[in-house]
């Protein structure tokens, strides 16, 4: 059975890797760019599972499945490829500061309730007072913080390193990757057949025929589905981040969790370097989003307010990327394309592509091989 995956960000690459372990599939991945170039390359890889406010239903289940899978996936990929994938196992620390954030009696009671819920689900969360925070993370300006929530089981990873390892491991398992390939058109069964199916794609490298087509192209999913007359409307939202270098590791060098607060992340990436980000910038008319320097500076200032030592840090680089946000429907978009029997969507993950990629890959595998191992496998 032939499967074609369009898009090689973290979602497309993870789907390819998971499917490559199913016997009897011939898998091809196409992308008009090299891997991890679009939203994946801009992501900070913060995996907020237990610390998220999602507590039930599909939104929580996907998070839980993904966080659990990453624990086995990262060592699995490192063993297969010999690549090192930066994977921070020291948890996520969320800082709660003065209003309008989750603070005061109401805010803390909500967090205490979440701690109880997570405990009943088999997950661990801690609420720290300022004394514990100062002891564990002396780099944080505890006078501006009311409490902190620590999630030891959540993680952070390098999305680009992960994607490149997935590509290499999938190649070892026989997956074919074609980069620099653009889809020009799609040929479908006659309109009167219901449901329709996609017969083949016409690309800059010729025709591609398959039994299944998986659209994991992020923002590229909109023009692609338009060729099938079933537009999935996905809009860009820009995110900017920067990498800074401090003269020494912040706080305790042996305890370097990802720190987040007020939607700004401070991510240790080894040695004296930290990522700071990311902004959330919506398009003006014409879908143009020039990076807003003031918003990036505002994120930097927020990070400095949390960790004053960052004020003297040197900016090593800045970068930005477009996240795919579905218009008028919740993210992500996973399932069959309306009216089609053999076109699957795995797209529109907005700000959670890295986090939800493993659960997305399981879901797609289950649609292609329903009798196969499900979300626990």
Between 3.50.50.60, 3.40.50.970, 3.40.50.450, 3.30.465.10, what CATH number should domain 1-88+155-233+327-377 receive?
Answer: 3.50.50.60
What confidence tens digit (pLDDT) does each residue in 9-56 have? 999 999 999 999 999 999 999 999 999 988 998 899 999 999 999 999
Cα–Cα distance list, 31 to 45, 105, 259, 329 (Å): 21, 50, 34, 25
Chain mean pLDDT for the chain: 93
What confidence tens digit (pLDDT) does each residue in 242-264 have? 999 999 999 999 999 999 999 99
pLDDT at 287: 67
Q: What length is written for the chain?
A: 377
> Mean pLDDT over residues 332-345, rounded?
97
Burial of residue 170 (CB within 10 Å: 0-12, 13-18, 19+) is buried
Confidence of residue 284 (pLDDT cuts 50, 70, 90): confident
Query: What distance in Å separates the CA atoms of residue 301 and residue 225, rounded to the nearest whole number?
Result: 41
pLDDT at 201 over 50: yes
pLDDT at 212: 98
> Mean pLDDT over residues 212-225, rounded?
97
Contact 350, 71 (CB under 8 A): no
Contact 148, 94 (CB under 8 A): yes
pLDDT at 370: 80
Contacts of 320 (CB under 8 A, 6+ apart): 42, 238, 239, 240, 241, 279, 291
pLDDT at 266: 98
pLDDT at 374 over 90: no
What's the whole-model pTM score?
0.94
Pick from 275, 285, 224, 219: which is nearest to 250 by CA? 275
Cα 315 off chain centre by: 24
Contacts of 334 (CB under 8 A, 6+ apart): 345, 346, 360, 363, 364
Percent of residues, the chain, with pLDDT higher than 70: 95
Query: What distance in Å separates the CA atoms of residue 319 and residue 327, rounded to the nearest whole number?
Result: 25
CA angle 18, 324, 295 (to 5 degrees): 130
Between the CA atoms of 147, 148, 149 and 151, what dihedral angle is there, to the nearest 10 degrees?
-160
pLDDT at 103: 42
Domain ranges of the chain: 1-88+155-233+327-377
Position with higher pLDDT, 373 vs 85 = 85
């Amino acid at each position: 059975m032939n499967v074609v995956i369009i898009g090689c960000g973290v979602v497309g690459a993870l789907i390819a890797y998971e499917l490559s372990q199913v016997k009897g599939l011939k898998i091809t991945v196409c992308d008009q760019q090299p891997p991890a170039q679009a939203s994946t390359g801009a992501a900070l890889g913060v995996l907020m599972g237990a610390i998220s406010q999602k507590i039930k239903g599909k939104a929580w289940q996907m998070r839980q499945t993904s966080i659990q899978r990453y624990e086995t996936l990262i060592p699995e990929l490192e063993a297969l490829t010999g690549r090192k994938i930066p994977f921070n196992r020291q948890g996520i620390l969320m800082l709660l500061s003065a209003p309008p954030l989750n603070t005061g009696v109401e805010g803390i009671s909500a967090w205490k309730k979440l701690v109880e819920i997570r405990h009943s689900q088999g997950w661990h969360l801690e609420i720290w007072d300022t004394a514990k925070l100062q002891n564990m993370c002396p780099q944080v300006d505890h006078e501006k913080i009311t409490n902190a929530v620590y999630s030891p089981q959540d993680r952070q990873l390098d999305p680009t390193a992960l994607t490149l390892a997935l590509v290499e491991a999938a190649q070892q398992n026989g997956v074919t990757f074609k980069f620099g390939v653009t889809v020009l058109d799609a040929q479908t069964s006659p309109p009167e057949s219901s449901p329709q199916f996609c017969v083949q794609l016409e690309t800059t490298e010729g025709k591609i025929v398959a039994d299944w087509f998986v659209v994991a192209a992020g923002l590229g999913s909109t023009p692609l589905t338009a060729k099938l007359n079933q537009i999935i409307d996905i809009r860009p939202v820009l995110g900017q981040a920067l990498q800074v270098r401090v003269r020494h590791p912040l706080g305790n060098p042996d305890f370097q969790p990802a720190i987040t607060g007020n939607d700004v992340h401070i991510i240790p990436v080894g040695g004296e370097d930290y990522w700071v980000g990311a902004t959330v910038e919506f398009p003006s008319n014409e879908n143009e989003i020039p990076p807003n320097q003031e918003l990036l500076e505002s994120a930097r200032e927020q990070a400095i307010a949390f960790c004053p030592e960052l004020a003297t840090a040197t900016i090593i680089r800045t970068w930005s990327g477009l996240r795919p946000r579905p218009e008028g429907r919740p993210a992500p978009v996973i399932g069959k394309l309306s009216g089609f029997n053999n076109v699957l969507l795995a797209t529109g993950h907005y700000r959670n592509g890295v986090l939800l990629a493993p659960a997305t890959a399981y879901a797609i595998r289950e649609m292609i091989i329903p009798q196969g191992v499900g979300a626990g496998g």
